[in-house]
Amino acid sequence: MPIRLSSEIQSRGLKVLLWGPTASRKTETILRYFPHVLLIDCEGNSDQCIDMPEVPPFLQLKTKDVYEINEILDQVAAGEVLFPDGSPVETIGIDGFSVLWSVRQEVGSLTAERRAQRERGRNYDPDKVHMTQYDWVVAKRPLKRLYARLNNPGVKYVVLTAREKDLWEEVTQGGKKELKKTGVTMDAMRGIDYEVNIAFQMFNDIPWKCQTVKVQGALGTMFPLQSVYSEFPHEQLLEYATGNIEATQDEIDVAESNVETEEVHTQVELIAIGRQHGLDARGVADALKSAGFESFDAGKWDEMVAAVTPEIT
């Protein structure tokens, strides 16, 4: 496990969230100001920026499928996605996280409907189907995997965009309850703002402006919370990310590694207990099965012993 002194760290990436209404320049901001962009276009807006002289050439992938996005991010991390001149991707832009979230909500809804249809047959009524906690888990799982990949992408810049939605509150006026608009927020899966280092709310006002609505650490001295900008502060943002960013294990990889480690530890403990009680492979297997464990394979006893014997004293 490499332990480093903070003053020796030479690389630092940046994750940015841009959210706001239509025509607030979210897509254009990614393509105009960030270098060597691979834009994952979930909304089809990037086509409108192709002929803009201020926008340099970029790589475009149109998809609303989070599984395809996870696959391309793995390819970027492996250095397999390059520009025609051989330059690597420096910026991953996902334009339209709101679309991804909408698709995954529909997945959860369809999962619930199909389950109800299997269980109820002809009595199935789609208007009476309710999503369970399991349906939400199914809907969110690939997005969580996407978050994990974006934490260690192997590029300097990750820029996400999200749409804006209204906030409503139920109030009582004249003895009647009604909904009152109380503001706006981003339209995306809850927690996306925790995944980024800085977030800007974009406005389609004239003149144009944006505002810092979330910021972490040292970025806060450069972009104080609630600061308003009439031009996107791209130069300072680009300078903040330094060095060569290398892809590292994401949460899914670590979890799989942990499972393998725990399986080895379990084998060590089983073998040690068996020796203490004079049990051979069949004895341990019988004891486990009597306790309700059916997966222990006595036929692999010698292989298990050989694999973990150095760890047993």
Residue 165 lies in a domain: yes
Q: 146, 66 in Cβ contact below 8 A? A: yes
pLDDT given for residue 40 in this prediction: 97
- Residue for token pair 């060569």: 244
Tell me, yes or no, whether 135 and 83 share the same domain.
yes
Domain endpoint, select from 225, 248, 271: 248
Read off the pLDDT of residues 144-175 as tens digits, 9 standing for 90 and up: 888 888 887 889 999 999 999 999 888 888 88
Q: Domain range holding 205?
A: 13-248
pLDDT given for residue 294 in this prediction: 59
Q: 81, 59 in Cβ contact below 8 A? A: yes
Tell me, yes or no, whether 306 and 224 share the same domain.
no
Residue 107 lies in a domain: yes
CATH number for the domain harbouring residue 147: 3.40.50
Tell me, yes or no, whether 266 and 124 share the same domain.
no
Residue 163 lies in a domain: yes
CA dist., res. 100 & res. 238, Å (int): 27
Q: What is the mean pLDDT of residues 16-30?
A: 96
Cis peptide before 207 (omega within 30 of 0): yes
**Range name among 18-32, 118-132, 178-192, 205-219 with the lowest pLDDT average:** 118-132
Domain endpoint, select from 213, 232, 248: 248
Q: 222, 207 in Cβ contact below 8 A? A: no
Tell me, yes or no, whether 216 and 292 share the same domain.
no
Read off the pLDDT of residues 50-59 as tens digits, 9 standing for 90 and up: 989 999 999 9
Would you call 45 exposed, middle or buried from its count of C-beta atoms within 10 A (0-12, 13-18, 19+)?
middle
Residue 1 lies in a domain: no
Residue 285 lies in a domain: yes
- Residue for token pair 């203490």: 276
For 102, the token pair is 């909408």
Residue 138 lies in a domain: yes
Tell me, yes or no, whether 39 and 20 share the same domain.
yes
Tell me, yes or no, whether 302 and 188 share the same domain.
no
pLDDT given for residue 74 in this prediction: 93
Q: 251, 151 in Cβ contact below 8 A? A: yes
Tell me, yes or no, whether 281 and 159 share the same domain.
no
Residue 94 lies in a domain: yes
Read off the pLDDT of residues 34-51 as tens digits, 9 standing for 90 and up: 999 999 999 999 999 998
Tell me, yes or no, whether 117 and 188 share the same domain.
yes
CA dist., res. 215 & res. 240, Å (int): 13
Tell me, yes or no, whether 230 and 274 share the same domain.
no
Tell me, yes or no, whether 241 and 257 share the same domain.
no
Tell me, yes or no, whether 99 and 211 share the same domain.
yes
Q: How many domains does the chain have?
A: 2
Read off the pLDDT of residues 262-273 as tens digits, 9 standing for 90 and up: 555 566 676 677
Q: What is the mean pLDDT of residues 88-109?
A: 92
pLDDT given for residue 140 in this prediction: 87
Tell me, yes or no, whether 146 and 283 share the same domain.
no
Domain endpoint, select from 196, 226, 248: 248
